[in-house]
A and B are shown apart, each in its own frame.
Chain A
Amino acid sequence: MSLFFRREKEVRALIQEYFLAADTALDEFEIGVRCYLGDGPCGEFRAIDKRIHAAESRADDLLREIEIMLYSRSLLPESRGDLLGLLEHFDKMPNLAETISFMLDTQQVPVPDSYKSQLAELIDVNVEAYRLVRKTVDKLFTDPGSVGDAVEPVDAKESESDQLEGKIIREVFASDLDGCEQIQLRELVQLIGDISDSAENVAGRLEIISLKKRI
């Protein structure tokens, strides 16, 4: 009996560790992009970019470890499938944080002052979507009955992000910026918006997992 509990504890501990690494990646991402918007690609931003990369790599390593453990430690196939599907979708968010940070570092995307506040708002909305879905994930492990109620706020944030993205992209392409800058900014905006899209996907999965456990 204790063997089964030990297995469960090991998997749970690894999953918690994974989420902490993902949280770190997103927290650093928020700080990093704000730093970039304030001071451009300075030395502080590069240090933060490295921390984002380290947290994302750690999350990836943990994800592989969890996959191996779930396949070798005899969880029921459906529980295994639910958890792995959830984690794989969730992992897109730290991946996006790293991709955006890498893009800013390598391409040094120029952000005109007129767009900085809107981009900061977009970052806020998307990081908030991440945090909301993160709380919902916690509920799946602590109070699965309340998961359904937690999905709606994530959807709302995703819609808010979509509207902001559309507004910014329209303004960018109506501006006098050169074509290359317009495309860079559009790509940056879309990548940031992808975070809330992923959060919405994860929320949908959480709702399905919770419903599947209702008989």
Chain B
Amino acid sequence: MWQLVSGAYLGWALGANDASNVFGTAVASRMLRFWTAALLCCVFLFLGAMIGGAEGMHTYNSLSKTTLNTAFITGLVAALTVTVMTWRQLPVSTSQAVVGALIAVGLFYGKLELGVLGKVVACWVGTPIGAMLAAVIFYLVVGKIFNLLSLNVFQYDFVVRWALVLAGSYGAYALGANNVANVTGSFVGEGMLTARQACFVGALSICLGVVTFSRGVMMTVGRGLVKLDAYTAFIVILAEAVTVHIYAMVGVPVSTSQAVVGAVLGIGFVKGVRTVNRRVLFNIVLAWILTPIIAFTVTYAVCYLGTELGWL
């Protein structure tokens, strides 16, 4: 089962990058120590993966049939795509990289389920839109409650800080439930892992990424979110968590980063200000298009070469 290495690498990269979307604010504002945030993140992420991760595995399993070797290629190409896109500072989606690679495998072997693919792509489009709507609703409804409570500066600080911790924990749960399929979903099948085993291994590798490499990303992303103000950051994280959790229940892994951007845009609509500049939006759209294309092209080429040279 050495092929699982590529999935573990992808899980590690996912943990290192995406933990910042849920606990970045709390860590960057020093309200939580990194290790406390990492522990909370790992616990809830693990719970999410074990309780709600199987749905996504089934989706990937029905999208395209893989073997151990093609699963290895899928994981490796997706991980490399994520690495390169991150290096180019483009907001990359692990789900899109994995799906791009899975489409290539499915097309190459003639086992692609177009109906499932349609559902996945629809969810990609729905992620930022859903998060945007959720952010608008939460901002207004929770804001009304806050105003009614008329909290003093200390009470407000206390409530918002705990709200950030709770939303972060829920976000970690949703991240585990939704994204664990990206990591080990392609390894589920006959002669490979069961969905439960895949959830366990996937969650472990994501947690490894959280513990070993997420601190720097948390500080960078967290500081960006803190600029919004703590209440808005809480709404963004909550909207992202709810959106990603809903897609976890639907069984389609989506991008937490894109959900965050959608939520931030939603806040912009409510406040009547531009919260994301054009360059950032352009980069998001570019990454949205490029990620699956790159993963698809490289995977297809590797499958072709592998078959020609007799590796596959």
Contact = CB atoms under 8 A, between A and B. Distances in A.
A78 B152 contact: no
Nearest to A86: B153
Contacts of A140: 152-153
B169 to A, nearest CB: 15
B158 interface: yes
B215 interface: no
B147 A214 contact: yes
A175 interface: no
B16 to A, nearest CB: 24
Contact of A8 (B29, B154, B229): B154
A9 to B, nearest CB: 9
A108 interface: no
A145 B31 CA distance: 26
Contacts of B152: 140-144
Contacts of A76: 29, 31, 157, 160-161, 230
A212 B229 CA distance: 10
A145 B150 CA distance: 6
B151 interface: yes
A213 B153 contact: yes
A215 B231 contact: yes
A4 B161 contact: yes
A74 interface: yes
Interface residues of A, number: 24
Given A76-B31, A76-B230, A78-B229, A209 B153 contact: yes
A11 to B, nearest CB: 7
A206 B231 CA distance: 19
A77 B151 CA distance: 17
Contacts of A144: 150-153
Interface string A1-25: 0001100100110000000000000
Q: Which range holds the interface residue count of chain B?
A: 20 to 34
Contacts of A117: none
A79 B157 contact: yes
Interface string A143-168: 11100000000000000000000000
Interface in A184-215: 209, 212-215
B143 A213 contact: no
A78 B153 CA distance: 10
Nearest to B154: A8
Given A12-B154, A141-B153, A215 B30 contact: no
Nearest to B33: A74
Contacts of B44: none
A143 B151 CA distance: 8
A213 B161 contact: no
Nearest to A145: B150
A77 B161 CA distance: 11
Contacts of B156: 79, 213
Contact of B154 (A11, A74, A145, A212): A11
Contacts of A82: 153
Nearest to B145: A215
A164 B144 CA distance: 44
A215 B156 CA distance: 12
B150 A8 contact: no
Contacts of B109: none
Contact of A215 (B143, B158, B162, B226): B143
B146 interface: yes
A75 interface: yes
A215 B157 contact: no
A79 B152 CA distance: 11
Contacts of B173: none
Given A4-B162, A74-B30, A141-B152, 14 more contacts: A8-B154, A8-B157, A74-B31, A75-B31, A76-B29, A76-B157, A78-B230, A79-B153, A79-B154, A82-B153, A142-B152, A145-B150, A213-B153, A215-B143
Name the 3 nearest CB pairs between A and B, nearest first: A215-B143, A79-B157, A145-B150
